[in-house]
Structure 1
Amino acid sequence: MYQEIQKELTEHIIPFWRGLRDDEYGGYHGLMDFDLKVDKKAEKGAILNSRILWFFSRAFNELKDISLLEEADHAYRFMVEKMLGDGSKGICWSVTYDGKILDSTRHTYNQAFAIYALSEYYKASAEPQALFLAHKLFFLIEEMCRDNDGYLEAFDEDFNLLPNDKLSENGVMADRTMNTALHVLEAYTLLYDVTDDLDIKKCIGKKLSDLLLIFKDRIYNKKKHRQEVFFDIYYNSLIDLHSFGHDIEASWLIDLALDTLGGEYLRAKDAEEIRNMTLAMVENTYNKALVDGSFVNECEVGARDDTRIWWVQSEAMVGFVNGYLRSEKPEYLQAAKSIWQYTKSYIIDKREGSEWFWQVDENRNPGKRPIVEPWKCPYHNGRMCFEMINRLKKGAADDSRKVLRGA
């Protein structure tokens, strides 16, 4: 499994995304349809560009191939020159193929992914401007994108609230979403890790710990052992929806945040309750979402959606291996193995010049959704590769130590 995932990363995912580099206008092309036709004049989404910047930066940090840092440099220049500027107004939603502002919406989710990308790029390049911009976006989120109870969603370029149509789905319009909160948490975790300035680090750590408590007390449903997804301004859930993919993703991202804080800022009782919460989400999704060796999408008002989505398979593998390393339950490791087998067989597109299908239905039909578009990126499957490689290494090392102690 380790060798197969490493090969998928280095021989498939990385070369595919290199091939979308736009050397004429900057950044990376924003659309490849299902028939593998690249639209070189499609919009370039800031989320896609941020995730590509993060991906190549992380790939360099893991593999130490200087050509990967060159790809990250290319994405970074486009972000700063065309989407972000000096950071004082945040990052826009999207630009045209040649770098003109197309959608000026400032979304908290988008600011978070820019922080995530800039932090990883700083780790790779030691470019001080990248960390400066990441800190600037952190303070912008805290000053402009939240109220006393947590994070809000969509704004115009002057940070007046807009309807949250970009992160609302399933027929609701949400004032707050679990998804945005989760990726603010993810961004703050990495930013905290790479920040050396003790005053700024303390500020980030406090906000990160506050967000962990929001997950524990407002987002997590203790009776149903799941996160709620869409909320009104008062954290009333707007729909009976269990997002299996987000729960398994959150299970390991929240654990990572706790590990990164290292006992700072949170009471031991709260930290223990949060750890129990993440393991409960692993167990709940194992019981409800693992179907025929793969991970289904969600359950809305009791009706299960059996679509197998590329990012959901990716997050499930990481979440189950993380759960296994914490609990030593062998069924979690077996779940990750079976999902990888399913992914190899049906999600990874075998056509030359392609990458992964967006999804397959219960009959393993991939449909016609694009291979690349503003949300389809190397973030989930690329990160799965990095996390699985590192966690499988750790698991193998732990097993070896057990064998030696037994001998």
Structure 2
Amino acid sequence: MFINEVKENLTQQIIPFWKSFKDEKFGGYYGFYDFDLNLHKEAIKGVILNSRILWFFTNAYTTIGDKECLEHAKHAYEFLKDHCLDKEYGGVYWSLTYDGKPEDSMKHTYNQAFAIYALSSYYGATGDKEALDIAYGIYKLIETKCKDSVGYLEAFDRTFQPVDNEKLSENGLLASKTMNTLLHVFEAYTELYRVDKNPQVGEDLKWMMDQFADVLYNKERRILEVFFDENMKSISDLNSYGHDIEASWLIDRGCEVLGDVAYTKKMFAVTEALRQHILEVGYDGFSLNNEDFKGEIDTTKIWWVQAEALLGFLNGYQLTPEREDYLSAGKTIWNFIKEYIIDKREGSEWFYDLDKDGHPVSRKEIVGPWKCPYHNGRMCFEVIKRGIDW
């Protein structure tokens, strides 16, 4: 029943919704759809949004065989190649105007990673060598311009000169390095390695797993530290529940793709501790809270956090079938998603966030630079591919 409900949400709501945002005139996909379901055709087009849409339609095609999704993926790929990619300095811009001109030309490592993630998937699905070549061009930029001896740097101007990392800092902090960027570089390189098995990318994955286990992971608190100075010293007292549960299964996936027994053993000790801790402190019996900042629990229910929590706990259950508490948590979170997160209004998809009582009081957008089909779409793909049901 569960897997059928997930398939129905994917095929009857999520995929048709995102197909409707195709911009036939200027390319790519429209960048903003407000809470009241008004389409803003002249809104900026976030490159992260476009990369995630490219990834989404590619994986929709490989998961359910919808050939129309492959055409949508090609549309997103052409927009990335022709407009998002900086032909002079390399890498992808942060955002574009509605008609495909650079709006914010900064280069962010996080943004470059999502382009690699999408391009790698697209190459894996189509065999289009051009997409793989572009992915490797961005990969080389990250490794030569966006990394030092202790971690991945974050924000740069168009020519890859460092600038303040305002895009991925929060809570009054200005971080030089972040767990979030490391996680999504790892995710991107996992996909690049999956489709091409480049030994150097495999070594990069090992280096990042050492970073997670030996630098970011706080063994006493069973959390991944989030914000860091230039020397990878933590500068915040923050436990991001969504990122920790997401990291738990993405790291497990990286180990699976890499196939290194020693790293799989090493990293399972970390990922299982993260899962267990989030179950204890972040899960409220129905859904996952957002975060703990200096001892204050943010009970906001965010769409992507629920999707990652469902997937993270089900992944934990598959790895350790005796942990039926993970399965139970997955079941209740799916029920919460069905009841509250999925927007029942015609012409909508999932709400961005809800208050602790399940009401979308923030009235945040349904589509925007960060609101995309990546988290909920990926949750659906993973459930289908893994054959998880009850």
Given the two structures, how large is their TM-score scaled by the length of structure 1?
A: 0.93
Q: How does 1:354-373 map to 2 (within 5 A)?
A: 354-367=348-361, 368-373=363-368
Identity %: 50
**Structure-2 separation of matches of 1:67 and 1:12:** 15
Q: Which residue of 1 aligns with 2:237?
A: 240
Q: Which residue of 1 aligns with 2:206?
A: 209
Q: Which residue of 2 aligns with 1:405?
A: none
**Structure-2 separation of matches of 1:331 and 1:117:** 34
Structure 1 residues 81-105: Cα deviation after superposition (integer angstroms, max 9, x where no partner) = 0111558510000000000100000
Q: Which residue of 2 aligns with 1:40?
A: 41
2:308 to 315, 327, 334: 315
Structure 1 residues 317-343: Cα deviation after superposition (integer angstroms, max 9, x where no partner) = 110011001111011011001000000
**Structure-1 separation of matches of 2:171 and 2:386:** 34
Query: Do 2:150 and 2:232's aligned partners in 1 also have CA atoms closer than 8 Å?
Result: no
Structure 1 residues 119-160: Cα deviation after superposition (integer angstroms, max 9, x where no partner) = 111112211100111111111100010101110000011111
Aligned residue type for 2:353 = Q
Q: Which residue of 1 aligns with 2:250?
A: 253
**Structure-1 separation of matches of 2:281 and 2:306:** 14
SS, match of residue 304 in structure 1: strand
Q: Which residue of 2 aligns with 1:301?
A: 294
**Structure-2 separation of matches of 1:220 and 1:46:** 30
**Structure-2 separation of matches of 1:88 and 1:119:** 21
Q: Which residue of 2 aligns with 1:374?
A: 369
Q: Which residue of 2 aligns with 1:71?
A: 72
**Alignment coverage as a number of residue pairs:** 387
**Structure-2 separation of matches of 1:136 and 1:195:** 14
Q: Which residue of 1 aligns with 2:94?
A: 93
Query: Do 2:89 and 2:158's aligned partners in 1 also have CA atoms closer than 8 Å?
Result: no
- Measured on the aligned residues, the alpha-carbon RMSD in Å equals 1.2
2:215 to 198, 218, 234: 218
Query: Do 2:13 and 2:349's aligned partners in 1 also have CA atoms closer than 8 Å?
Result: yes
**Structure-2 separation of matches of 1:239 and 1:140:** 29
1:337 to 328, 331, 340: 331
Q: Which residue of 2 aligns with 1:390?
A: 385
Given the two structures, how large is their TM-score scaled by the length of structure 2?
A: 0.97
**Structure-1 separation of matches of 2:152 and 2:84:** 22
Could you list the runs of 5+ residues in structure 2 that have no partner in the other structure? none
Is 1:349 the counterpart of 2:343? The answer is yes
Query: Do 2:350 and 2:366's aligned partners in 1 also have CA atoms closer than 8 Å?
Result: yes
List structure 1 runs of 4+ shifted beyond 6 angstroms: none
**Structure-2 separation of matches of 1:214 and 1:111:** 20
Is 1:117 the counterpart of 2:118? The answer is yes
Query: Do 1:61 and 1:123's aligned partners in 2 also have CA atoms closer than 8 Å?
Result: no
Query: Do 2:291 and 2:298's aligned partners in 1 also have CA atoms closer than 8 Å?
Result: yes
Q: Which residue of 2 aligns with 1:400?
A: none
Q: Which residue of 2 aligns with 1:280?
A: 273
Q: Which residue of 2 aligns with 1:169?
A: 170
**Structure-2 separation of matches of 1:81 and 1:158:** 19
Aligned residue type for 2:250 = L
Aligned residue type for 2:313 = F
Q: How does 1:194-205 map to 2 (within 5 A)?
A: 194-195=195-196, 201-205=198-202
Structure 1 residues 68-87: Cα deviation after superposition (integer angstroms, max 9, x where no partner) = 10000100011110111558
**Structure-2 separation of matches of 1:339 and 1:240:** 27
- CA distance change for structure 1 residues 80 and 87 in 2, over 3 Å: closer, same or farther? farther
Structure 1 residues 226-267: Cα deviation after superposition (integer angstroms, max 9, x where no partner) = 100000011111111000000000000000111111017xxx
**Structure-2 separation of matches of 1:69 and 1:53:** 9
Q: How does 1:254-273 map to 2 (within 5 A)?
A: 254-263=251-260, 268=262, 270-273=263-266
**Structure-2 separation of matches of 1:365 and 1:7:** 24
SS, match of residue 188 in structure 2: helix
* Superposed displacement of residue 392, structure 1: 3.2
Q: Which residue of 2 aligns with 1:152?
A: 153
SS, match of residue 387 in structure 2: helix
SS, match of residue 242 in structure 1: strand
Aligned residue type for 1:314 = A
Which shows bigger deviation, 326-335 or 377-386? 326-335
**Structure-2 separation of matches of 1:87 and 1:249:** 35
Q: Which residue of 2 aligns with 1:106?
A: 107
